[in-house]
Amino acid sequence: MTRLEATVEPLDTEWARLYLGGKGLLFRYLFEELAPGTDALAPENPLILASGPFAGTAAATCSRLAVGCKSPATGTLLDSYVGGSFAPELKYAGYDVVVVTGRAPHPVLVLIEDERVDFLPAEGRFWGLETAALEQKVREEMGPWHKVLSTGPAGENLVPFACLSTDQYHKAGRGGGGAVMGSKNLKAVVVRGTGAVAVGDAGAFARDMLALQNERILTADNAWTYEEGTPFLVDLVNAAGALPTRNWRSGQFEEAGSIDSAQLLKVRTKIRACTQCPLACRQVHQFGEHVSEGPEFETLGLCGANCGVGDLAAIAAFNRACDEVGLDTMSTGAVVALAMDLCEKGAADYGLAFGDTAAYLAAPGLIAAREGWGAELALGARDLAALKGRPELAPHIKGLELPAYDPRGTFGMGLSYATSDRGACHMRAFTAADDILGGEAPADSLEGKPQLVADQQDFSALAWTGVWCANMYLDTDFIGAHLRHLWGRDVTQEEMMTTGARIWNLGRLLNLREGFGRDQDRLPAILDVPHPDGAAAGKTVSAEALRAALDEYYRLRGWDEDGVPTEETLARLSLDVRL
């Protein structure tokens, strides 16, 4: 970006063999390109876009892009995922991975049209536009098939929880990728490809993919995706006492029935899909004159219950505002709820109050612009709570705000969050499925959870190479049926899980290199206070229980007691890097 130059190099086939694509390749490039200790907003922090090997093919749900860098929210590695249609277009243009380094001397938009790469001046033309307006302008000026991955005003202003946007409603939400794009004076990457993706024996591949679609994807187990989408979780998580309510004071929201999927279905107008996905989980709703996708479960939990807001139209408007300015709804909802709490406790005077939607609806715009009290909220929960002298009220791990599954109602998620590679994340090991959503594991115990968490993390690391979508039931049989075509032979379950473990351990090395070890694998103080009501009343994950679970987790992983992978573990996983 500094020299406004692009170079093209062949994919490192050894890296592709070891790390496949998506998350794995992203981590490998990040390990290579990121000098230890680099500031996340410095030009030297690479912003990496990595597709999976099946993007742009007949494989379903693989049209997803992995986006990564060092996170400005946490200082850890960041990998975040987005659907829509950008990743296939990147493949049609001929690229698997894009690595953006440096900082442009002035705002630009990078335009990739097959082998041609241009740097278009963005000042007065694209810079400053909200996400939907930007996409519309690009389509008008360049054509309807150009795909856009952009940062909004929040990212231009370096808000550490600014997201990246594509196809208007699709977000690589977590960890501040939008701020890293903004720090490079880069408004958007726009891509148009006219090529295709070769798949070897195309007939056999198409037959296998069709069979998987009929037998494994369009099944009763996955019907929830198009019937209700993620909002179906609201009632289940609330019943388990795990729905964060009023800055995590409770796990049960008395107005949950006003913001659940039954209410959303009343205003649903249609469903949409990412490219090449038969599940079409994207729920489109109409509130008054506004039609938009979402809110998803996490937004309903964190921008609804956690802010004491039971007004569905207000949550949808908050969601839209975040989408337009390019803010992660999860972190924004968490920060606004914290600010409401600070106001109630007399530690701040923002005019915010639980359940009051007036100032609440102004928050996304003020945060994105860093105006008025929005400038303080733009610090993120950890730094805002510290600024106000109430660090114990901040719901975060390693600087990333907690997702909408309260560990007091689902203990396994506590271990999952504490050991997640990018800070508090529910997408690495989703043990809530085992202890509150129909599984048989006890919700209020960490017994057996270290193995469950480690296995699920390894599996998710494998799945995010594809990049398969988490919104359907995945297993190694399903993934193996794809990899058979990639490697030209049958692939064992052990090979696949070893690949996942290799990627997870590479992520651990990256974080250790940035100074994150055992001391940071912990839960925030706000979770030490038991709920007064709900199904999880009186329960907390004790420090002793978490310590014992971490010991067991490290042992199972082949890490020492400080959480450092042993030489034997790295050799067993054929990891080709060392600290």
Residues that bind ligand SF4 (CB under 6 A): 61, 83, 225, 273-274, 277, 279-282, 469, 471
Pick the closer one to ligand SF4 by CB: 295 or 407.
295
Cα gap 259→310, rounded to integer Å: 6
Contact 71, 514 (CB under 8 A): no
CA distances from 87 to 80, 165, 193, 274, 369 (A): 13, 13, 11, 10, 29
Query: C-beta of 57: minimal distance to ligand SF4 in Å?
Result: 14
Query: C-beta of 480: minimal distance to ligand SF4 in Å?
Result: 20
Query: C-beta of 405: minimal distance to ligand SF4 in Å?
Result: 19
Pick the closer one to ligand SF4 by CB: 213 or 431.
213
The tally of CA atoms less than 13 A away on the side-chain side of residue 14 is: 4
Pick the closer one to ligand SF4 by CB: 282 or 285.
282
Query: C-beta of 152: minimal distance to ligand SF4 in Å?
Result: 20
Pick the closer one to ligand SF4 by CB: 61 or 183.
61
Cα gap 17→472, rounded to integer Å: 26
Q: What are phi and psi of 54, to 5 degrees?
A: -105, 0
Per-residue tokens: 214 = 């009929």
Query: C-beta of 271: minimal distance to ligand SF4 in Å?
Result: 8
Query: C-beta of 215: minimal distance to ligand SF4 in Å?
Result: 17
Full DSSP string of 3-64: S---------HHHHHHH-SHHHHHHHHHHHH--TT--TTSTTS-EEEEE-TTTTSS-TT---
Pick the closer one to ligand SF4 by CB: 277 or 307.
277
| Backbone CA torsion sign across 385, 513, 418, 77 | positive
Per-residue tokens: 525 = 């103080």
Helix (H, G, I), strand (E, B), or coil: what is residue 126?
coil
Contact 471, 274 (CB under 8 A): no
Query: C-beta of 126: minimal distance to ligand SF4 in Å?
Result: 26
Pick the closer one to ligand SF4 by CB: 131 or 471.
471
Length of the chain: 579
Pick the closer one to ligand SF4 by CB: 174 or 282.
282
